[in-house]
Structure 1
Amino acid sequence: MHVDEWLQAIPATWVYVLVGVIIALESLGIPLPGEIMLVSAALLSSQGVVSPVLVGVYASAGAIVGDSIGYFIGYKGGAPLFDRLGRRFPRHFGPEQIAKAERLFHRYGVWAVFFGRFVALLRILVGPLAGALRLPYWRFLVANVSGGIVWAGGTTAAIYYLGVVADRWLKGFSWAGLALAVAAGLITTVVVKRRLARAAAPAPAAPQRSMSVTSRE
């Protein structure tokens, strides 16, 4: 069962709660499919199953709260925390991933918190790593809140409107799409038949040239 099918099987209130909780857990450093949950819920909102506004609100709240909790976990745990996580989850918290995230923090500072929300690897690391690197919390909070709202609200709005447009397009596709498909099939058939006829036609006879053969004794 896909995520969207699973979400359709539960009440709308639990969809909002699950979206917020899973995004919050992902943001505080647990590798979970928060973005997949958000996209699936946004697609459901385009079908009228849930409210797009509430999906965006719960997702934003989960991202902000989760990142803040992750910040304080990283602040308290520091480097030893990432060493333990690296041994348990080498794919997400290995030395290479941590070093890459640290380079981004040192290069972009607080902007790494804002744009990290849009990158799968940094979305998990940005909160704990900001705390471990002792980034001032007020600067982290500003970037965290703005990044969480833009990411969650923007993703929900984009997927919602894409879903609405796609649904309208598919509904109007029946007759127009059928006509286009038939026309394309006829044109393709004619072109293929012509090419096959040309390939099957005998090649023109080449002019005969006299050739002298020299025999060796």
Structure 2
Amino acid sequence: MVMLESMGLPLPAESLLITSALFCATTHKLQIEGVIIAGVTGAIMGDNFGYLIGHELGLHMLGKHGNKVGLTSKRLLLGRYIFLRHGGSVVFFGRFIAILRMFVALLAGAIRMPWHTFLFYNALGGVFWAGGYTLCAYMLGNEILRLSGWIAIGFGVVACTVILALLIFFKRNEKRLTAEAMQAAQQDEQLKALLP
């Protein structure tokens, strides 16, 4: 399930990890190490499959249908520029935001983020996300049930605030950033292919 969610399907992988950790803590019928290894492996594999899907199909689909959802060729170039400059942070921190977690690998593949960079930050994010959530839930035991509601609300508020701030920043600076991307594309072979 973790792998499938990381590939882009809307599944409750986070809840599964927490539930599995609680099951380990209360019944001792599963080993927490196995749950952590399965979660981390599923997260990393799923994102790599998502990256491959995005790499093979994503750019063509975005080029063909992107205008329908506001993704013009200039915005695709800007997205590529951002992924080439800050893609590692996007991949790593995207792992901790539920909606972004489902799409970041597909976008990274579609935008043609270098695979070796994607793999490193994806693996790092998978270890911290799947391993961290599972281990924390295991250590907190039943206390996590009481705290999870407030923690989820807090993370949700922070995530929404960050996403809104980024959207406002990009909207206000889109022309300047696009001009930077166009200038960089003149010198960068990876970006040149996306010039309108």
- Residue 43 of structure 1 deviates from its aligned partner by 1.0
2:5 corresponding residue in structure 1 = 26
Q: Gapped runs of 5+ residues in structure 2?
A: 146-196
Q: 1:54 aligns with which of 25, 34, 46?
A: 34
Judging changes above 3 Å, is the alpha-carbon distance between structure 1 residues 139 and 23 closer, same or farther for their aligned structure 2 residues? same
1:46, distance to aligned residue in structure 2 (A): 1.1
> Paired residue for 1:63?
43
Question: Displacement of 1:77 after TM fit?
Answer: 0.5
Percent of residue pairs bearing the same amino acid type: 41
Give the number of the structure with larger relative contact order, counting CA–CA contacts within 8 Å between residues 6 or more apart: 2
What whole-Å deviation, never above 9, does each CA across 1:147-175 have from its counterpart, x for those lacking one?
A: 101111111110001106679xxxxxxxx
Across the aligned residues of Structure 1 and Structure 2, the Cα RMSD in angstroms comes to: 3.0
CA gap of 1:39–1:79, structure 2 versus 1, over 3 A, is same
**Alpha-carbon distance change, 107 to 139 in structure 1, aligned in 2, over 3 angstroms:** closer
TM-score (norm. length: structure 2): 0.61
Change in CA separation of 1:157 and 1:95 when aligned onto 2, cut-off 3 Å? farther
CA distance in 2, matches of 1:131, 1:105: 10
Gaps of 5+ in 1: 1-21, 87-93, 168-217
Structure 1 or 2: larger helix share? 2
Aligned: 1:117 with 2:95: yes
Query: Equivalents in 1 of 2:137, 2:16: separation in Å?
Result: 12
Counterpart contact for 1:74–1:81, Cα < 8 Å = no
For the Cα contact (< 8 Å) 2:48–2:105, is it kept in 1? Answer: yes
Preserved CA contact (<8 Å) 2:137 2:144: no
Q: What residue number does 2:140 align with?
A: 162
Instruction: Indicate conservation of the 8 Å contact 2:83/2:113, yes or no.
Output: no
Q: Is 2:109 aligned against 1:138?
A: no
**How many residues were matched structurally?**
136
Shift of the 81–49 alpha-carbon distance from structure 1 to 2, 3 Å rule, reads: farther
